[in-house]
């Protein structure tokens, strides 16, 4: 509904796009109305009913689409969502929908009176009511009054396909609207609505077949009830997406089948209960089970490493072969479990268009929001964590980056700013970017605020992108003169930086004055298991994620230089800053004459030479999050347990670059 409302607003309510958007909103509200009425969610049903009535007037042209109507529809969507959440949580009365229901009803009534013709309204057909007791036969009304104005005209009786069960009870036929989404669920709700009226003696197809979607478009029931035929019809229509209801005896002609279809119909697939069913290709799994499976496979990976290490010392060919086969099976199992946890980023991204629209309106700006790479997949646990950082970045881009329409016109830019949220695969990581074409970060203001706070030297005149990021990601740092609903409290980039770092990722900022800003979040595909290069410093082992390792070389004395008092490493024609791991962890100096190794690490376009004592090898490690010790180093992003049971710290490469 939110997406359709945004499309309607962009189209200005005009043309084919506007018509399609109104139809999509109407269908969404109608679905909510039908299901909520069946489930007994009264506040949701009342609100969606009045909203549907107003939307029907919009569809018929009785209500013009203007800014006031759009605001009302957006507010209705918000309240409807809150009411649904409250109903599901069994807090149905916690959301008061009465004021909005009254406003929608008044809006619909006002427009209906204005559009009413002076001529007398046509006479309604008479309604024939009869008792529909056990075994009774109630005749179908000749000219039934439609319950919902959107329901299409009834199809011919020849379209009925479900066979009426034999036996006692009132015969009832229900046909669903063509193209009903989740028609099996809708049909089950119809049966539930019938059960609320009395006793369902028989159902064709079976309830199991309905839930498996193994039916055409209609169902047939035998119902024992004391309710009137009209009441039965009205109750079943309220289940939603119901095109036609026949209560009582009516001639039904089955459609003719060609020989192939007839043969197929004569040999249905059967399940254990003998009913016709459709093969199921998916099942619902509790997320806690997936988390448990990932934890178990992590422990299995640790045990595999121990087995490989032990078997190497025994030198038994049969044992070595068995361990190798076990390793392959564990690797396959790990891949399957990790794949089952991957979900597309659109599951989080799809809630941002509405957020951007509301934020832009609150500060009087025009924003064209574009989402790219919605099908890129991330581990579910990772996806749950990136939503808040992205919200901060989008709000900052709208408030600080994109200019007001008048300012943009004066600068020769379109009045509408462009804001892009994209996701791309970057080797074994995912890069999420927030790009705006606004004013860019004002480095002079950042530098002035940094000088005032004593964060840089007073004679410093320029900031690199790395220095800029370090400053604006400091807790409480902000250049905003006033606090708005969107920003100004100095918690935006700080929150993003800390959250992404805690996930084992990195943040990168590139800003050009007058052209815009790009913020990149690089995240591992999963938080659980990563392939790493093991390096040794003295008698301690450290892990470096392979996703950030470009190559390894031996450290020769003739490739080390000094530039402005700092050591650099000459790698062919490239000059790389050197980082000695021994100095980072404050380990005693190595024995003289030992040959050190260099790990060339990289992130985005930045590289560095990490010097270690020795390389141990590659290994898949299980990442264990931990809280850093007091006054500890901020260069580690987690810990792991190696095959010999010894713990090892995992280096956070982003802290070195």
Distance (Å, whole) CA 216 – CA 255: 12
- Segment 155-200, tens digit of pLDDT: 444 467 888 888 888 899 998 887 776 778 788 888 888 888 889 9
What's the pLDDT at 263?
Answer: 39
- Segment 48-68, tens digit of pLDDT: 889 988 888 888 888 888 888
Q: Are strands 647-651 and 540-545 parallel, antiparallel or unpaired?
A: parallel
Give catalytic status of residue 52 as yes or no. yes
| Averaged pLDDT, 238-247 | 84
As a whole number, the mean pLDDT across the chain is 79
The DSSP-derived string for 485-524 is SSS-SS-HHHHHHHHHHHTT-EEEEEEETTTEEEEEEEEE
- Segment 261-319, tens digit of pLDDT: 433 334 444 445 444 444 556 777 887 888 888 888 888 888 888 888 888 888 888 99
What's the pLDDT at 260?
Answer: 39
pLDDT band for position 74 (cuts 50, 70, 90): very high
- Segment 596-655, tens digit of pLDDT: 899 998 876 678 899 999 998 888 888 776 665 555 666 787 788 887 778 888 888 877
Number of H helices, E strands in the chain: 19, 22
Distance (Å, whole) CA 421 – CA 600: 31
What's the pLDDT at 482?
Answer: 52
What percent of the chain has pLDDT above 70? Answer: 81
| Averaged pLDDT, 141-160 | 43
- Segment 427-468, tens digit of pLDDT: 667 889 999 999 988 888 888 888 888 887 877 777 777 777
pLDDT band for position 421 (cuts 50, 70, 90): very high
Under 8 Å CB-to-CB from 48, ≥6 apart: which residues? 29, 30, 32, 33, 36, 80
Could you tell me which residue, 96 or 493, shows the higher pLDDT?
Answer: 96
The DSSP-derived string for 237-283 is HTTSSEEEEEES-----PPP--HHHHHHHHS--B-TTSSB-------
Could you tell me which residue, 412 or 108, shows the higher pLDDT?
Answer: 412
Could you tell me which residue, 355 or 13, shows the higher pLDDT?
Answer: 355
What percent of the chain has pLDDT above 90? Answer: 16
Candidates 396, 400, 403, 620; catalytic one: 396
Check if the beta carbon of residue 5 is closer than 8 Å to that of residue 51.
no
| pLDDT at position 255 over 50 | no
pLDDT band for position 76 (cuts 50, 70, 90): very high
| Averaged pLDDT, 315-343 | 88
What's the pLDDT at 279?
Answer: 53
What's the pLDDT at 167?
Answer: 85
Candidates 2, 9, 30, 620; catalytic one: 30
Give catalytic status of residue 396 as yes or no. yes
Q: CB count, 10 Å around CB of 53?
A: 17
Tokens of 177: 């609207």
What's the pLDDT at 129?
Answer: 40
Candidates 9, 50, 52, 385; catalytic one: 52
Check if the beta carbon of residue 312 is closer than 8 Å to that of residue 335.
no
The continuous run of DSSP H or E covering 574 comes out as strand 574-580
């Amino acid at each position: 509904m939110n997406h359709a409302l945004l499309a309607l607003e962009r189209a200005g309510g005009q043309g084919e796009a506007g018509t399609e958007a109104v139809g999509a909103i109407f269908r969404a509200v109608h679905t909510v109305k039908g299901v909520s009425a069946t489930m007994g969610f009264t506040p949701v049903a009342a609100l969606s009913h009045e909203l549907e009535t107003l939307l029907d007037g919009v569809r018929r042209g009785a209500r013009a689409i203007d800014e006031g109507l759009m605001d009302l529809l957006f507010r209705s969507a918000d309240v409807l969502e809150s009411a649904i959440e409250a109903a599901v949580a069994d807090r149905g009365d916690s959301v008061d929908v009465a004021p909005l229901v009254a406003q929608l009803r008044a809006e619909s009534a006002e427009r209906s009176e204005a559009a009413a013709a002076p001529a007398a309204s046509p006479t309604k057909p008479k309604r024939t009511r009869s008792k529909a007791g056990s075994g009774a036969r109630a005749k179908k009304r000749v000219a039934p009054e439609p319950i919902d104005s959107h329901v299409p005209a009834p199809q011919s009786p020849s379209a009925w396909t479900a066979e009426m069960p034999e036996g006692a009870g009132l015969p009832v036929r229900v046909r669903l609207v063509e193209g009903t989404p989740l028609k099996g669920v809708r049909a089950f709700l119809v049966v539930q609505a019938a059960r609320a009226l009395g006793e369902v003696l028989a159902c064709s197809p079976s309830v199991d077949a309905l839930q498996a979607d193994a039916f055409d478009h209609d169902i047939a029931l035998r119902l024992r009830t004391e309710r009137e035929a009209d009441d039965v019809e009205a109750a079943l229509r309220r289940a939603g997406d119901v095109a036609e209801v026949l209560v009582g005896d009516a001639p039904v002609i089955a459609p003719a089948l060609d020989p192939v279809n007839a043969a197929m119909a004569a040999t249905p697939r059967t399940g254990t209960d003998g009913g016709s069913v459709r093969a199921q290709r998916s099942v619902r799994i509790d997320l806690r089970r997936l988390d448990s499976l990932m934890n178990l496979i992590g422990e299995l990976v640790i045990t595999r490493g121990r087995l490989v290490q032990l078997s190497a010392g025994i030198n038994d060919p049969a044992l070595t072969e068995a361990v190798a086969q076990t390793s392959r099976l564990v690797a396959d199992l790990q891949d399957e479990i990790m794949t089952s946890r991957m979900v597309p980023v659109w599951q989080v991204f799809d809630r941002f268009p509405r957020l951007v629209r509301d934020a832009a309106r609150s500060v009087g700006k025009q924003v064209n929001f574009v989402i790219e790479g919605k099908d890129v997949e991330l581990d579910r646990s990772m996806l749950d964590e990136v939503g808040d950082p992205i919200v901060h970045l989008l709000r900052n881009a709208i408030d600080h980056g994109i200019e007001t329409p008048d300012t943009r016109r004066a600068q020769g830019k379109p009045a509408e700013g462009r804001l892009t949220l994209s996701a791309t695969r970057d080797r074994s990581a995912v890069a999420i970017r927030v790009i705006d074409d606004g004013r860019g970060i004002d480095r002079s203001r950042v530098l002035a605020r940094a000088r005032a706070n004593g964060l840089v030297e007073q004679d410093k005149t320029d900031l690199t992108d790395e220095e800029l990021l370090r400053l604006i990601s400091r807790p409480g740092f902000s250049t905003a003169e006033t606090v708005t609903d969107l920003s100004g409290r100095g918690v935006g980039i700080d929150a993003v930086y800390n959250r992404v770092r805690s996930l084992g990722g990195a943040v990168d900022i590139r800003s050009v004055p007058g052209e815009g800003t790009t913020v990149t979040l690089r995240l591992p595909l999963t938080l659980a298991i990563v392939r790493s290069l093991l390096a040794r410093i003295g008698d301690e082992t450290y892990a470096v994620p392979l996703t950030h390792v470009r190559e390894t070389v031996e450290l020769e004395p003739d490739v080390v230089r000094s530039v402005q008092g700092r050591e650099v490493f000459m790698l062919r024609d490239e000059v790389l800053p050197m980082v000695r791991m021994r100095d980072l962890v404050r380990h005693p100096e190595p024995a003289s004459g030992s040959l050190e190794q260099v790990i060339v690490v990289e992130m985005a376009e930045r590289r560095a030479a990490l010097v270690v004592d020795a390389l141990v090898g590659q290994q898949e490690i299980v990442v264990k999050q931990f809280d850093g010790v007091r006054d500890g180093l901020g260069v580690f992003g987690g810990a792991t347990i190696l095959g010999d049971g010894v713990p090892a710290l995992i280096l956070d490469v982003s802290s070195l670059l």
